[in-house]
Amino acid sequence: MRKLRNIIHIDEEKCTGCGQCVLDCAEGALKVVDGKARLVGEIYCDGLGACLGGCPTGALTIEQREAEEFDEQAVHELLHAAPPAEPEPLACGCPGSAAMTLAPSSPAGTTLAAGPAPSQLGHWPIKLGLLGPQAPFLQGADLLLLADCAAASLPDLHPRLLPGKAIALACPKLDDAAAHVNRLAQILAGAKPRSLTVVHMEVPCCKGLEYIAQQASQLAGLDIPRGSIVVSRDGRILQQHLPWSRAA
């Protein structure tokens, strides 16, 4: 039934797709689609505007118009729905997606007398979309959800963050965020990592990786220590909250 009431309005010209409004909406009424915040459905929006304050560009406002009535039961069902299962990749698929554990070439913190620094990468594949929930290197791991650009921007990524960690590489802006949420939820539910730390750039759209982590944790029904690391465009760590000591 439609009636005149308050409901969210999204200015797509101002929206950067950062995902902060998704984190601020307790009802799950918003998600990022094709790089923009979208209303999942009118019945999920209570019109109270809890999502407004966190938007860095002022893209969100409350308007009064005819809309479907807010439905608390529908919200409950939405928030507690299980993530859809994804089919296992075919055996004849890309050979580069085969899971394997790697041995770093030298202990963390050491340097070579000559030549490049040793790799601290502990497994393959590393792209979130290629990781399987049952991969042995993910079981009980300290997992880094790492933005593509952050991996390229942080000059000491390998010795500083990778030793002893499993990583999942993704882009919150250009990738399919919904697919990432579902895959990460499957990994969290299946591998039950000790901790999850999001590493993203300082730019607003990259913060969408926090949204992916929050939504995936909610879908998986798993409450684990979570952390975050924010990287500047010139490769400095601006903020960090590390959960590893609490997870140990």
Residue with tokens 């089919």: 87
Q: Say if residue 32 is in the same domain as residue 148.
A: no
Q: Say if residue 22 is in the same domain as residue 135.
A: no
Is 127 part of any domain?
Answer: yes
Predicted confidence (pLDDT) per residue in 226-238, tens digit: 999 999 999 999 9
Predicted confidence (pLDDT) per residue in 131-168, tens digit: 888 888 999 999 999 999 999 999 999 999 999 999 99
pLDDT of res. 226 = 93
Distance of CA 128 to the CA centre of its chain: 10
Report the domain count for the chain: 2
Is 9 part of any domain?
Answer: yes
CA dist 124 and 67 (Å) reads 48
The segments of the chain whose pLDDT lies below 50 read 87-92, 111-112, 246-248
Can you give the residue range of the structural domain that contains 215?
120-247
Q: What is the pTM of this model?
A: 0.65
Is 94 part of any domain?
Answer: no
pLDDT of res. 102 = 66
Which residue in 246, 243, 180 sits closest to 210, CA to CA?
Answer: 180
Is 98 part of any domain?
Answer: no
Cα 46 to Cα 17, 60, 66, 67, 71, distances in angstroms: 21, 14, 13, 11, 8
Q: Pick the last residue of a domain from 21, 47, 79.
A: 79
CATH number at residue 203: 3.40.50
Pairing label, strands 195-201, 60-68: unpaired
Q: Say if residue 133 is in the same domain as residue 184.
A: yes
Q: Say if residue 169 is in the same domain as residue 67.
A: no
CATH number at residue 7: 3.30.70.20
pLDDT of res. 229 = 96
